[in-house]
């Protein structure tokens, strides 16, 4: 009988008896049981299509390289889209709110991410509807119950143990909360950046991540907050830097405060929660390296939106039907005022897969799923 392409033979002699072991290390190294995704518009694949919200992307030219608009806030795929396929899934993880995300489909994973979402429930009020992290966890609890009803509790825990849990949260807690034009002047007078992060964001996030662990998650990849001071929207809405190509220092400073505390939080959770692997994915470092060396990655533009309508950097108006789209989307780091292009998401996903410990720690995904 022929072996599968990824199988190997190991021949051993035990007590004089020749034994042939057939194993599938290569397959197991790059195969996950399922993918469960939590986050904001960086990871949303269409949940906001089903709620009343100003944060939507289910219209052109969004999805122009995906084949159609789906609710993804980019021209192509999200980072978890790419990771899921790289790790052996046969299709993209569907949005929780889609009516077709039921039955056996959920056994391969579900995406709960929502554009405008944050760690804090009050984050993103400017968008009206959004599904913040607490509610996303409520939705996962519903999925968990449905999976248990299909395959039983023991098999469900086995499924979760072999699954990838991806999370990106925090950007909106700054952009549409602490730094919001409506709230920022009052809030910044009352609460320092250090207090906002240390007394509000990190303790709430800790509780949310522990709740995910209690519900069965074991391999949890948590992306930090990228250099939000460099996105086209923040460049264009900060008048003091409107005539320069610099990033906005305050926004990046806030991200760095959060990221430093997040890394410590994940280390603490790894030490205190038995059997857990919380992976710190340093998107901030990866993205800054891309911005600093964008030409070496094949990009021509690292500060403006490809899909643009107004603003020096195209950062004033969200991407939509009236927007103009750049001639070559592969040459732009940013797709729209807030989000990276498909090409950047591919680079980030590759670093998640194979990066060193400066980019993703304590282990990259290739090593994590070999274990």
Alpha-carbon gap, residue 320 to 338, rounded angstroms = 13
One domain for residues 60 and 15: no
| Active-site residue, selected from the candidate residues 53, 313, 323, 339 | 339
One domain for residues 130 and 46: yes
One domain for residues 74 and 177: yes
One domain for residues 3 and 77: no
One domain for residues 23 and 37: no
| Active-site residue, selected from the candidate residues 41, 53, 276, 304 | 41
Give the number of other Cβ atoms within 10 Å of residue 331's Cβ: 16
One domain for residues 174 and 81: yes
Nearest-CA neighbor of 204 among 255, 267, 155, 132? 132
| Active-site residue, selected from the candidate residues 173, 236, 303, 336 | 336
Q: Which two tokens stand for residue 109?
A: 């994973």
The two counts, helices (H) then strands (E), for the chain are: 13, 11
Q: First vs last Cα of the chain: how many Å apart?
A: 29
Q: Are 168 and 39 in contact (CB under 8 A)?
A: yes
- Quick check: is 145 catalytic? no
One domain for residues 153 and 17: no
Alpha-carbon gap, residue 138 to 130, rounded angstroms = 14
Angle between helices 79-86 and 342-354 (to 10 degrees): 50
**CATH number of 340's domain:** 3.40.50.1110
Domain around 15? 1-30
Residues 6+ apart with CB under 8 A from 350: none
Q: Residue 124 burial (CB < 10 Å; 0-12/13-18/19+)?
A: buried
pTM of the model: 0.90
Alpha-carbon gap, residue 352 to 363, rounded angstroms = 9
Q: Could you give the angle at the alpha carbon of 279 between the alpha carbons of 274 and 284, nearest 5°?
A: 155
Q: Are 23 and 8 in contact (CB under 8 A)?
A: yes
Query: pLDDT truncated to tens, each residue of the chain (371 aa)?
Result: 333 334 333 333 333 344 343 333 334 335 899 999 999 999 999 999 999 999 999 999 999 999 999 999 999 999 999 999 999 999 999 999 999 999 999 999 999 999 999 999 999 999 999 999 999 999 999 999 999 999 999 999 999 999 999 999 999 999 999 988 665 555 666 889 999 999 999 999 999 999 999 999 999 999 999 999 999 999 999 866 655 668 999 999 999 999 999 999 999 999 999 999 999 999 999 999 999 999 999 999 999 999 999 999 999 999 999 999 999 999 999 999 999 999 999 999 999 999 999 999 999 999 999 84
The residue assigned the tokens 């569907």 is: 94
Q: Which two tokens stand for residue 138?
A: 């409520």
Number of compact structural domains in the chain: 2
- Quick check: is 336 catalytic? yes
One domain for residues 197 and 248: yes
Alpha-carbon gap, residue 315 to 196, rounded angstroms = 26
One domain for residues 4 and 61: no
Q: Residue 63 burial (CB < 10 Å; 0-12/13-18/19+)?
A: buried
Give the number of other Cβ atoms within 10 Å of residue 154's Cβ: 9
Alpha-carbon gap, residue 293 to 215, rounded angstroms = 41
One domain for residues 138 and 92: yes
One domain for residues 6 and 93: no
The residue assigned the tokens 């926004």 is: 251
Alpha-carbon gap, residue 41 to 165, rounded angstroms = 17
One domain for residues 277 and 261: yes
Q: What pLDDT, on a 0 to 100 scale, did the predictor assign at position 31?
A: 84
Structure letter (DSSP) for residue 169: -
Nearest-CA neighbor of 344 among 10, 73, 21? 73
Q: What pLDDT, on a 0 to 100 scale, did the predictor assign at position 189?
A: 67
Nearest-CA neighbor of 139 among 172, 116, 106? 106
Alpha-carbon gap, residue 363 to 95, rounded angstroms = 28
Q: What pLDDT, on a 0 to 100 scale, did the predictor assign at position 2?
A: 37
Alpha-carbon gap, residue 140 to 297, rounded angstroms = 37
Alpha-carbon gap, residue 340 to 342, rounded angstroms = 7
Nearest-CA neighbor of 215 among 139, 271, 312? 139
């Amino acid at each position: 009988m022929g072996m599968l392409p990824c199988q190997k033979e190991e021949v051993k002699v035990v007590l004089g008896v020749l034994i042939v072991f057939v194993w599938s290390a290569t397959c197991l190294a790059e195969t996950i049981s399922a993918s469960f995704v939590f986050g904001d518009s960086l990871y949303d694949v269409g949940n906001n299509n089903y709620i009343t919200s100003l944060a939507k992307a289910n219209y052109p030219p969004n999805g122009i390289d995906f084949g159609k608009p789906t609710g993804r806030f980019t021209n192509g795929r999200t980072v978890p889209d790419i990771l899921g396929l790289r790790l052996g899934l046969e299709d993209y993880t569907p949005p929780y709110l889609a009516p077709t995300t039921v039955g056996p489909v959920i056994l391969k994973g579900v995406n709960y991410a929502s554009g405008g979402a944050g760690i804090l429930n009050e984050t993103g009020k400017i968008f009206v509807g959004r599904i913040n992290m607490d509610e996303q966890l409520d939705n996962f609890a519903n999925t968990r119950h449905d999976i248990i009803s299909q395959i039983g509790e023991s098999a469900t825990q086995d499924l979760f143990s072999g699954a990838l849990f991806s999370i990106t949260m925090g950007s909106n807690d700054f952009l549409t909360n602490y730094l919001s034009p409506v709230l920022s002047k009052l809030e910044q007078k009352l609460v320092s950046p250090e207090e906002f992060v240390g007394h509000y964001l990190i303790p709430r996030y800790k509780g949310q991540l522990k709740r995910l662990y209690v519900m069965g998650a074991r391999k949890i990849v948590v992306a930090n907050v990228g250099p939000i001071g460099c996105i086209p929207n923040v460049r264009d809405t900060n008048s003091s830097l409107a005539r320069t190509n610099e990033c906005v220092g305050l926004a990046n400073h806030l991200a760095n405060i959060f990221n430093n505390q997040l890394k410590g939080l994940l280390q603490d959770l790894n030490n205190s929660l038995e059997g857990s692997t919380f992976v710190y994915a340093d998107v901030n470092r990866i993205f800054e390296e891309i911005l600093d060396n964008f030409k070496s990655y094949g990009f021509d533009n690292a500060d403006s939106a490809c899909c643009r309508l107004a603003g020096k950097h195209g950062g004033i108006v969200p991407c939509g039907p009236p927007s103009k789209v750049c001639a070559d989307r592969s040459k732009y780091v940013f797709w729209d005022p807030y989000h990276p292009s498909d090409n950047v998401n591919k680079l980030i996903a590759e670093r998640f897969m194979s990066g060193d410990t400066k980019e993703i720690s304590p282990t990259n995904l290739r090593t994590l799923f070999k274990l």
